[in-house]
Amino acid sequence: MKRVAAVDLGASSGRVMLSEVGADVLKLRELNRFWNGPVRVGGRLHWDVLHLYRSILEGLAVAGPIDSIGIDSWAVDYGLLDDAGRLLGNPVHYRDSRTDGVMERVLSTIPTTELYAVTGLQQLPFNTIYQLAAEKLPADAITLLMIPDLLAYWLTGEIGVERTNASTTQLYDVLARDWSDELIGRAGLPRPVFPALREPGEVIGSVLPDETGLAAGTPVIAVGSHDTASAVVAVPAVGERFAYISSGTWSLVGLELDAPVLTDDAREANFTNEGGVDGRTRFLRNVMGLWILQECQRVWGADLDDLLRAGADAPPFAVLIDPDAPEFLAPGNMPARIDEQCLRTGQEPPRNRGSAVRCILESLALAYRRTLRAAQTIADREVDVLHVIGGGSQNELLCQLTADACGVPVLAGPVEASALGNVLVQARALGEPFPDLSAMRALVRSTHSPRRYDPQGKPADWDAAESRVFGTR
């Protein structure tokens, strides 16, 4: 039995979890949960990374004796270090407007076809390559670290970038499984700022007591440091005929494959090929996720349970939106933006909050349906079951709507999938008997039973709704 700590940072909250892991044991206990979100300073959105680091230390300080620590977080964002290892400013938030119009500028010099052939990555305006192109790199920047690697550096003093997060930068060669020197050069970036890559399960280094206040010598282990890579490890699946939605602020909808799919069809459908644990490929698309509902809740100052009850009681298919429309990306008045899109597409805006919630969740279910069907066609993979993992698996209305829309059973849970995948990779690195992902998933199944939602309603209603939404682009 191993006692390990998982640091799991999502785009709206972070947590430090303590786990006991063994051949037939997988327990999690929350040590510290804390807010995470954008801070606007001087007209720019930043991450409060020092708040995150302090909160991590506070959680680890009460963990007691542990065998190791692993860190995962969201993707694409980074910190820059100077030659003394000092952070050059708080990392900028991917929702900041500095990348407006940058993608088009970069693609005028590196065509989409060439970029996709190397990286296999979905075109998103906040991908790391576009963030780096948005501003001239500071002259004193000598090292780029993704967010989990920056935090691991502060804990251990060791520099490197874990592979699953590197694969989200659009500067990573998905076939060579290394940084793309060609793309880095064509983007006008200095190659030396990109450190050596690490594998999930590799020991990064030991905790520095003088810097952290923690006990010396505890190893920090690289996990699937993109939180979705860790979450997919904890999908309680049997066999390969499954799809997943890692559901939270974002929804990542896709398949686990043995190799990337770099076809024209995959590129034109804007699918991404991101690195997974044990060399797997996460073939998926980003869907906007619960961000829209979270922002509405913030604007309304309302209780989430009350909103979901109102949404369940609202008439179906009254109002529908495209949740991936660019106007929903930045923080702001989401109810007003929903109204604006409805008016633009010839619909009457939601009449009340319940109708707005129903609109958001049905629209998300439609986006999931469209993405799942495209993934199956492009990858030539049939799916028998859809696993919904992460915080969104607790949203019963969304899970049922997803089963109805996609026409396959939904198995919801575990909620803390990223933390579970994090600790399983650590435990294997420490010698626990998990030879492959199947063994890890079997342990998740035996200790965290998912909730099943079977499809209901009429498929023809969803066909008509999908035509309404995606015919208005």
Question: Which residues carry out catalysis?
Answer: 227
Task: Report whether 437 contacts 233 (CB < 8 A).
Answer: yes
Residue in the block written with tokens 């051949």: 23
Nearest to 236 by CA among 451, 87, 8: 451
Q: What letter represents residue 24's amino acid?
A: D
Within 10 Å of residue 131's Cβ, how many Cβ atoms?
23
CA 91 from centroid of its chain's CA atoms: 17
Write the DSSP string, 345-399: TT-PPPSSHHHHHHHHHHHHHHHHHHHHHHHHHHHT---SEEEEESGGGG-HHHH
d(C-alpha 69, C-alpha 186), whole Å: 37
| 108 Rama class: left (phi>0) / alpha (psi -120 to 50) / beta | alpha
Angle formed by the axes of helices 437-447 and 417-429, nearest 10°: 130
Q: Fill in the DSSP letter of residue 421.
A: H
